[in-house]
Amino acid sequence: MKTCAIVGINWGDEGKGRMVDLIAEDYDVVVRYQGGSNAGHTVINEYGKFALNLIPSGIFRREVINVLGNGTVIDFEHLSMEVDKLRKAGVYISSENLKISDRAMIVFPYHKELDALEEARLKDKKYGSTKRGIAPAYSDKYQKKGIMAGELLYPEYLKNHLRDILEWKNLTLQNVYNSKPYTLDDAMAWLDKYATEFKSHICDTGVLLREAKKNGKSILFEAQLGALRDIDYGIYPYTSSSTPLASYGPIGSGAPDISLDYVIGVVKAYSSCVGEGPFTAEWFNEEAEELRKAGNEYGAATGRPRRVGPIDILATSYGVTVQKADCIALTKMDVLSYMDKIPVCTGYEVDGVELKSFPLTPVLEKAKPIFIEMDGWKTDISGIRKFEELPKEAQEYVLFIEKKINCPVKYVSVGPDRDAIILRGGDE
Ligand code: GDP
pLDDT one-digit tens code per residue, 133-173: 999 999 999 999 999 999 999 999 999 999 999 999 999 99
Taking the centre of ligand 1 as the mean of its atom positions, its distance from the CA of residue 178, in whole angstroms, is 41
> Quick one: 110 and 100 in the same domain?
no
> Quick one: 350 and 396 in the same domain?
yes
Report the first-to-last Cα separation within the chain, whole angstroms.
Answer: 12
Q: Residue 121 — pLDDT band, cuts 50, 70, 90?
A: confident
> Quick one: 393 and 300 in the same domain?
yes
Q: In the predicted model, what is the mean pLDDT of residues 181-187?
A: 96
Q: In the predicted model, what is the mean pLDDT of residues 64-89?
A: 97
Domain limit, last residue, from 197, 213, 248 = 197
Give me the CATH number covering residue 183. 1.10.300.10
d(CA 414, CA 104): 36
Is residue 428 included in any domain, yes or no? no
What is residue 106's predicted lDDT score, i.e. its pLDDT?
Answer: 98
Q: Is 161 a catalytic residue?
A: no
What is residue 166's predicted lDDT score, i.e. its pLDDT?
Answer: 97
Cα dist from 392 to 375, 377, 387, 409, whole Å: 10, 8, 10, 16
Total count of domains within the chain: 3
What is residue 40's predicted lDDT score, i.e. its pLDDT?
Answer: 79
Q: Report residue 59 CA to chain centroid gap.
A: 16
Q: In the predicted model, what is the mean pLDDT of residues 52-81?
A: 95
> Quick one: 226 and 286 in the same domain?
no
Domain limit, last residue, from 142, 172, 197 = 197
Helix extents (H) in 93-233:
109-122, 134-142, 155-171, 184-194, 205-214
Give me the CATH number covering residue 67. 3.40.440.10
CB 9 within 8 A of CB 47: no
What is residue 107's predicted lDDT score, i.e. its pLDDT?
Answer: 98
Taking the centre of ligand 1 as the mean of its atom positions, its distance from the CA of residue 43, in whole angstroms, is 8
Query: Sign of the C-alpha dihedral, residues 166, 167, 173, 174?
Result: positive
Q: Is 13 a catalytic residue?
A: yes
> Quick one: 154 and 192 in the same domain?
yes
Is residue 360 included in any domain, yes or no? yes
Q: In the predicted model, what is the mean pLDDT of residues 190-206?
A: 97
Number of residues that this document lists for the chain: 428
What is residue 119's predicted lDDT score, i.e. its pLDDT?
Answer: 84
Query: Which member of 21, 26, 28, 41 is catalytic?
Result: 41
Is residue 149 included in any domain, yes or no? yes
Asked if residue 237 has a cis previous peptide bond (ω within 30° of 0), the answer is yes
Which pTM value belongs to this model? 0.93
Domain limit, last residue, from 154, 177, 197 = 197
Whose alpha carbon is nearest atom 27 of ligand 1?
A: 416
Is residue 328 included in any domain, yes or no? no
Give me the CATH number covering residue 275. 3.90.170.10
> Quick one: 80 and 208 in the same domain?
yes
> Quick one: 58 and 205 in the same domain?
yes
What is residue 308's predicted lDDT score, i.e. its pLDDT?
Answer: 97
What is residue 334's predicted lDDT score, i.e. its pLDDT?
Answer: 98
What is residue 130's predicted lDDT score, i.e. its pLDDT?
Answer: 75
> Quick one: 304 and 192 in the same domain?
no
Does residue 265 sit in helix, strand or coil?
strand
> Quick one: 362 and 396 in the same domain?
yes
Taking the centre of ligand 1 as the mean of its atom positions, its distance from the CA of residue 321, in whole angstroms, is 23
pLDDT tens track for 359-396:
999 999 999 999 999 999 999 999 999 999 999 999 99
pLDDT at position 274 over 90: no
Domain that holds residue 179: 105-197
Is residue 388 included in any domain, yes or no? yes
Query: Which member of 13, 21, 28, 230 is catalytic?
Result: 13
B/e letters for 195-234, b = 16+ CB within 10 Å, e = fewer, are beebeebbbbbbebbeebbeeebbbbbbbbbbbbbbbebb
What is residue 51's predicted lDDT score, i.e. its pLDDT?
Answer: 87
What is residue 344's predicted lDDT score, i.e. its pLDDT?
Answer: 98
d(CA 16, CA 224): 8
Pick the closest to residue 238 from 367, 127, 118 (CA basis).
Answer: 127
Is residue 34 included in any domain, yes or no? yes
pLDDT tens track for 281-332:
999 999 999 999 999 998 766 677 899 999 999 999 999 999 999 999 999 9
Stretch (H or E) spanning 313: helix 313-323
Is residue 272 included in any domain, yes or no? yes
> Quick one: 89 and 210 in the same domain?
yes
pLDDT at position 428 over 50: no
Q: Which residues line ligand 1 (CB under 6 A)?
A: 8, 12-18, 40-42, 44, 296, 300, 331-332, 334-335, 413-416
Is residue 309 included in any domain, yes or no? yes
pLDDT tens track for 213-240:
999 999 999 999 999 999 999 999 999 9
Q: What is the best residue among 23, 331, 334, 417 to mutate for testing ligand 1's pocket, by most ligand atoms within 8 Å of CB?
A: 331
d(CA 152, CA 150): 5
pLDDT at position 59 over 60: yes
pLDDT tens track for 1-48:
499 999 999 999 999 988 988 888 889 999 999 999 988 788 888 999
> Quick one: 122 and 30 in the same domain?
no
pLDDT at position 129 over 80: no
> Quick one: 165 and 246 in the same domain?
no
Q: Residue 425 — pLDDT band, cuts 50, 70, 90?
A: confident
Cα dist from 27 to 21, 273, 309, 339, whole Å: 11, 30, 34, 37
pLDDT at position 427 over 50: no
